[in-house]
Structure 1
């Protein structure tokens, strides 16, 4: 019993990898060890984590036993009889968030780290998984809110007014610049507004719907990228277009009934459809582009995305107006 790790690995992993979050000081057993032997060995010892017993054979991971299963098993039973023969495991370079989600998907509260040959390198214990999930959640929320201290949320919470302003102002300045650009776009189409003042009534609606659809799509894409899941961009764009088509039909009827203007109804509803479709495309591609540039894809669901969506939706609206009126 008690095989020790005999396969060494380099410790050059960043703090956000699975290996950097793993501990090696855990109870270890051999598949042929009896339950009473395992319990006898671990009693009286302090481990970095004792929630799981790692079962090794030749240094390779062959199973994991939870403390609950160990202490509820009959003393004469052997480790291989009560262990999980296919426990969740990740390679050392796996992102910490991906590792945490893989553990949850398997309904486990710890996950083993093994190299590409199956040798055991460590275990990410329950309390560390909880910290990872909390940290990643805080980061995503801070990025989406446009707060610069997203990697250390407590910095903002503990800051004074001046520091808070500095952490929040940069993205808001970007938003202001985007708003000025949007105003410039509206100015270009001033003649269209003069011909049909009612067009101005629907600018907030067009902008809001495009932003809302974009935000929904961005959330899905960012989460898929974070968890290294395959993302069907075409499906997301089709979904956004289908939503846009539904909104278009509703808007067409509503405006005609309220204002009795069929051309106005056509222009606004068509703009909603096009803006919704384009919003889905932009929201799908922006996080992927940011990841290619080695930036956090979550930035694609924050103020940057909002600025882009606002300008594009206004341009689409007035182009449709220009073409049809």
Structure 2
């Protein structure tokens, strides 16, 4: 009954995760006979948490925990004590979706059935923990723009080839930052002190954007994102950006004032940091949500891409505000 063949299943689906080490019971068994069957078949099997009740066509009709079986009287039919509201997987369900079900339902084992509802395997939580680790590793690689798997054994030329496409793209995008600095060269020459805070402004904006990106990508893996959830997330990150921005802006404004003795410089640097941190946080939230909306893997919105975009925005804001107050800075 539990020696059915697997067949061929798509990669990273429930069909490839399932194990055949389950114990099935006929729906004609009493509790006494079920316990006897359990004793005869439990040897060599691990993770036996549930017993699965099948009809004469090997179709899954119920599930029973060992504790419930042992608590029943000997002559009680197992069909009277089994649970019929069964959570099961098809063979072609994506492993990420299966992991979400395990998390939401808090189960240790879930059966896998074929198209005719015949029991062909069981997935245990141990396999799902491996899936969660694997998916997390994939997301981390994508967040770092390294693309396909790169580990200690990867050939250096292969590793470089897998990283280069993103980095070349970011190189050309990064040239825009150089163009912005050239555009505001007069402002920078007039107030040299602005150059001191330029790396900090760009770096902080990129950092907060990457933090938001990591939060969103992790949420997209574990949550079913709806429009309302997206709006709530966007509003929350806006509040987070404002709080972080105000705190950091006050600190850097005081530092700029104490260092240069210029209240105007402190206000320019502080207000620039406030604006860029808010925008950086929102960019790190909106971009992966948009990619998810258009059926693109949101982890592709990698950290370096967010950082590069935020560099451009932060420099525009910083030098824009400084140019407005140039007369008071000199």
Map Cα deviations across residues 215-273 of structure 1 (whole Å, 9 max, x no partner). 22111111111123434211112211221111112222222122211111111111111
Contiguous gaps of at least 5 residues in structure 1: 6-10
| CA 1:195–1:175: 2 relative to 1, 3 Å | same
| Larger Cα-atom Rg | 2
TM-score (norm 1): 0.78
Deviation string, structure 1 residues 111-147 (Cα, Å, up to 9, x no partner): 3457999997753224421331222122112112221
In structure 2, relative to structure 1, the CA distance for the partners of 1:197 and 1:124 (3 Å cut) is same
Give deviations 1:159-188, integer Å, cap 9, x for gaps.
Answer: 222222212222222332233221111111
CA RMSD of superposed structures (Å): 3.8
Q: Structure 1 residues 46 and 304 mapped into 2: Cα distance closer, same or farther (>3 Å)? A: farther
Contact persistence 1:98–1:228 (CA under 8 A): no
* Distance in 2 between residues matched to 1:315 and 1:280, nearest whole Å: 16
Q: Does structure 2 conserve the Cα–Cα contact (< 8 Å) formed by 1:206 and 1:313?
A: yes
Among 189, 192, 195, which residue is 2:190 paired with? 195
- Give the Cα separation in 1 of the matches to 2:290 and 2:128: 29
- Counterpart of 1:168 (choices 148, 163, 168) is 163
Q: Deviations along 1:48-107, whole A, 9 cap, x unmatched? A: 9753324447745654537xx589x46857768997887866676654224224424555
Contact 2:205–2:277 (8 Å) recurs in 1: yes
Asked if the contact 2:213/2:303 (under 8 Å) is kept, the reply is no
Count residues in correspondence: 312
Aligned with 1:157: secondary structure? coil
TM-score scaled by structure 2?
0.77
Segment drifting more, 194-203 vs 233-242:
233-242
The verdict on how the C-alpha distance between 1:261 and 1:103 changes in structure 2, with shifts beyond 3 A counting, is same
Q: Does 1:142 align with 2:141?
A: yes
Alignment of 1:58-97 (within 5 A): 59=59, 62-63=62-63, 65=65, 69=67, 73=70, 76=73, 95-97=94-96
For residue 26 of structure 1, the aligned residue among 19, 22, 26 is: 22
Q: Pick from 44, 47, 52: which aligns with 2:49? A: 52
Gaps of 5+ in 2: none
Distance 1:118 1:252, change over 3 A: farther
Partner of 2:317: 316
Q: Within 1, Cα distance between the matches of 2:86 and 2:260?
A: 63
Contact 1:88–1:111 (CA under 8 A) maintained in structure 2: yes
Match of residue 8 from structure 1: none
| Cα distance change, pair 147–256 in 1 and its aligned pair in 2 (3 A) | same
DSSP 3-state at the match of 1:43: helix
